[in-house]
Structure 1
Amino acid sequence: MIAQKLGLSIGGEQPKRDLLEDEIERQRIARQRMERERKAVAAQQAGWERVAARATRLWGLAILPAPAFPYIELKRIKPHHLRQYNDKLVAPICRRGSVVNLQFIAADGMKRFLLGGRINGCYCPFGRIEPGKPLYIVEGIATAATLHEETGHPVAAALSSTNLLPAGQELQRRYPDAKLIIGGDDDRAKEAEGKPNAGKQAAIQAAKALGCGYVLPAWPEGAPLHLSDFNDLRLLKEV
């Protein structure tokens, strides 16, 4: 006010902010963000549906595996409901009772999924899931087959340690009366190197989040550190 009376400049006046215009702009940006997110979700869902359709078609073309398929012999498991497509063993990856993806297992054990297919929250089931009965959730196909054969209880292969919890949450919603048990891998070799035991940690965290129990392989004294899952344990005992 003094500067104005004396005719002095103090750097010019700053324009007043229009709060209404600011709010309109914020809402416009928020709508654009929500629209981008909606389109991304729709595109992902459409991609999952395309892959699911392909998985269903390929699963229908797959045949019973050869009696001496190398991976089955290597892991000493039964073929169960697994199939064979060309020279690969095929496991159905399911969600809400439908095949949504496939896991292909080569003779040397190399694994891959259909590109762009859904995996998070999905699983490969072994055995019939019944109310009030134990339902084990493990990582791999061979581990699931082994635990199913050893216990007679249904087992779901979550296909990775990071999917134990999402798969468990999906199974808990679908089968609320089943008694979930996480069957974790025990990555002792990594632990011996001072690295995180990812399999064990994931099993414990998933069990805590799901409010259920967990089990790990009970290794005999002197068991080689590179062994980590229930299939490894059974093979060790058969030696």
Structure 2
Amino acid sequence: MSDVIAKIQRVAEAALSHADTLTSEWLPEGSRQGSEWVARNMARGDHSSGSFGVSLATGKWNDFADRSAHGGDLVSLYSYLNRCRQVDAAMAIDRRLGLGVFRWHGRTGIPEASLTISQTTVTDSHRQRQEALANERALARQEAMARARAEWDSARPASVHHPYLVSRGVPAFDLRQGRRGSLLIPLYANGELVNLQRILPNGAKRFLKGGQVQGAHALIGKPTPGGRLFICEGWATGATLHHLTGDPVACAMHAGNLMAVAGAMRVVLNGSLDLVVAGDDDRMTEGNPGRQAANDAALAVGALVLYPEWPEDCPDDLTDFNDLYRWHQTPQRDDAGGGHD
């Protein structure tokens, strides 16, 4: 038994190197916020994200709305989400990542035939759960696409006086506004409108429930062959880049989506534009996840990478190009800090 525990621990440690990939697969409706993956807790039918978070640095996870739901690593997270034993969770992660940790035959005292039957049962059960989840996600995405089209078509052009636009100091750039004052940012994938990000007047942001985020993007401006395309995280950052340069921008909406969007743009544009990943500089966050994600995306697609250049007297909590732009617009303010996008 001690050997099994040691194997589970080895899988948990190895899984940390793939935390971004695993959490986005297990909790696909979530998003990266700093060094955490924040999502809704599908295990208890949570309807909105915010209370359930997973540390991408340590693997620790916690549901602040359910005191009993917490754990110390990604193996326990998989076990919790799929309602299976930790050893089964470790085996599933081991297979997913190709680690080769669970080569048990002749080592643990478990009869080989019994082990084969157990593994087959676990594999079949896991496959059925994964197929059911995939069908559920596909249906949710279709429903979200229909809601996005209906809401976008019925919306009016966004007011230049919308509080969010005023606070970020950028034009509306063809955004629309819902009946309750929400700013609507359209997200596209494969040329289709697949989701909306709603930004309330108080700055709170919500995607449509079940809608695609990973691989989708918001486009500002029109790409022109022979030109340049920026890829960034948030919409306000993209609006700032387009406002200052006139170049088109694809906004990935969060750091964990930069690589997917960069890859999609590389394929669609077929090398007709220079790609530049304009990354956030999370200087005050351990590991600087903004820089790490931007570097990874640029390296994966052969793009250039660009970061804000911080003057010596600017506040340390600024992280993106919109922060820098606003600080330059109001250099006399001592409190012109973040509130980043």
TM-score band by shorter chain is 0.7 to 0.9
CA 1:24–1:235 in structure 2 vs 1: closer, same or farther (change >3 Å)? closer
C-alpha separation between the residues in 2 aligned to 1:165 and 1:105? 24
Residues 167-176 or 77-86, more deviating? 167-176
For these two proteins, the number of residue pairs brought into alignment is 218
Residue 212 of structure 1 corresponds to which residue in structure 2? Answer: 303
C-alpha separation between the residues in 1 aligned to 2:204 and 2:314? 25
SS of the residue aligned with 1:137?
Answer: strand
Counterparts of residues 141-180 of structure 1 (less than 5 Å): 141-177=235-271, 178-180=273-275
Alignment match of 1:64 (pick from 154, 157, 160): 157
Gap runs ≥5 in structure 2: 1-110, 331-341
TM-fit CA distance, 1:29: 7.2
Alignment match of 1:185 (pick from 270, 275, 280): 280
Residue 113 of structure 1 corresponds to which residue in structure 2? Answer: 207
- Residue identity opposite 2:144 in structure 1: V
Q: What do the CA deviations read for 1:183-205 (whole angstroms, capped 9, x no partner)?
A: 00111222xxxx12111111111
- Residue identity opposite 1:187 in structure 2: D
Q: Which runs of 4+ in 1 moved over 6 A?
A: 22-29
Gap runs ≥5 in structure 1: 1-16
C-alpha separation between the residues in 1 aligned to 2:141 and 2:160? 33
Query: Share of identical aligned residues, percent?
Result: 35
Counterparts of residues 24-103 of structure 1 (less than 5 Å): 34=127, 36-85=129-178, 86-103=180-197
C-alpha separation between the residues in 2 aligned to 1:40 and 1:49? 14
Alignment match of 1:236 (pick from 324, 327, 330): 327
SS of the residue aligned with 2:290?
Answer: helix
- Residue identity opposite 2:298 in structure 1: A
Within the alignment, does 1:224 sit opposite 2:315 as a pair? yes
- Residue identity opposite 1:182 in structure 2: V
Alignment match of 1:140 (pick from 212, 218, 234): 234
TM-fit CA distance, 1:146: 0.5
Residues 147-156 or 64-73, more deviating? 64-73
Contact 2:158 2:174 in 1 (8 A): no
SS of the residue aligned with 1:189?
Answer: coil
SS of the residue aligned with 2:164?
Answer: helix
SS of the residue aligned with 2:187?
Answer: strand
Relative contact order, higher structure (CA 8 A, sep 6+)? 1
Alignment match of 2:222 (pick from 113, 128, 131): 128
C-alpha separation between the residues in 1 aligned to 2:122 and 2:203? 49
Aligned-residue RMSD, C-alpha: 2.2
Q: What do the CA deviations read for 1:141-178 (whole angstroms, capped 9, x no partner)?
A: 11000101111111011000111111111222222223
